[in-house]
């Protein structure tokens, strides 16, 4: 059972720029449409736990729903999801421990935790087991941070690092408790 983060960040650690924009994530030419292990990662996880703001950003793209696994949207304010997503998406709330326990009990063992604020809450409670971070060679100077304050140091073991398209550095770490 693992809670895993898989994100693209700027060199200065942002997930989105000051205007919430993500276009810089596609700033490196990718002529072969390499998915950088995304498909393999999706097969490995059982469900996605996504912050409400990330959900709204994805809905705003208007590119349709592309997640092959069930998505649990974390929100205290969202009341419903669009009809066409009713069997693919559920709204949840609670502490990271409550959310993890409930989903694990339902058989969702490996969870992909997504969204800056959501990831930070899980980290705050030491409930992130793996970090998969693809760093792009850009400084955004501000925006939505991947990391925030933590109550203690947290060691991670380095599993692997790949250089993608001779431009991005994709590293995989496991929490060392
Ligand atoms: N670069 C990347 O790979 C990447 C990945 C993911 C996201 N992003 C970007 O990051 C931005 C969104 O991140 P964000 O930090 O603003 O927010 P977020 O984590 O997506 O959403 C935050 C919201 O999630 C809800 N939430 C979080 N934890 C909760 C809990 N335990 N229980 C109930 N609700 C909870 C709250 O919603 P309510 O206010 O409704 O209560 C909170 O306001 C977007 O621009 C997105 O595109 C980028």
CA-nearest of 164, 172, 171 to 28 is 164
* pLDDT recorded at residue 131: 98
* pLDDT recorded at residue 115: 98
User: Probe ligand 1: pick from 17, 23, 117, max atoms within 8 Å of CB?
Assistant: 117
pTM: 0.97
* pLDDT recorded at residue 117: 98
* pLDDT recorded at residue 111: 98
Structure tokens at 91: 């709204």
* pLDDT recorded at residue 118: 98
* pLDDT recorded at residue 106: 98
Please give the Cα distance from 61 to 103 (Å, whole number): 28
* pLDDT recorded at residue 12: 98
* pLDDT recorded at residue 174: 98
CA of 25 to the centre of ligand 1 (A): 18
CA-nearest of 58, 100, 117 to 82 is 58
Positions of the chain with pLDDT lower than 70, given as ranges: none
Cβ(122)–Cβ(4) below 8 Å: no
The strand pair at 14-16 and 3-9 is best described as unpaired
């Amino acid at each position: 059972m693992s809670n895993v983060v898989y994100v693209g960040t700027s060199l200065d650690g942002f997930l989105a720029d000051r205007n919430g924009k993500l276009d810089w994530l596609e700033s490196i030419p990718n002529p072969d449409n390499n998915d950088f292990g995304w498909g393999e990662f999706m097969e490995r996880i059982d469900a996605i736990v996504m912050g409400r703001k990330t959900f709204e950003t994805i809905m705003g793209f208007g590119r349709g729903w592309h997640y092959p696994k069930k998505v649990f949207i974390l929100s205290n304010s969202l009341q419903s999801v669009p009809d066409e997503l009713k069997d693919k998406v559920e709204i949840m709330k609670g502490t990271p421990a409550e959310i993890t326990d409930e989903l694990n009990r339902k058989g969702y063992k490996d969870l992909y935790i997504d969204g800056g604020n959501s990831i930070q809450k899980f980290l705050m409670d030491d409930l992130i087991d793996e970090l998969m971070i693809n760093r792009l060679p850009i400084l955004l100077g501000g925006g939505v941070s991947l990391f925030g304050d933590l109550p203690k140091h947290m060691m991670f073991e380095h599993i692997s690092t790949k250089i993608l398209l001779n431009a991005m550095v994709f590293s995989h770490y496991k929490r060392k408790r």
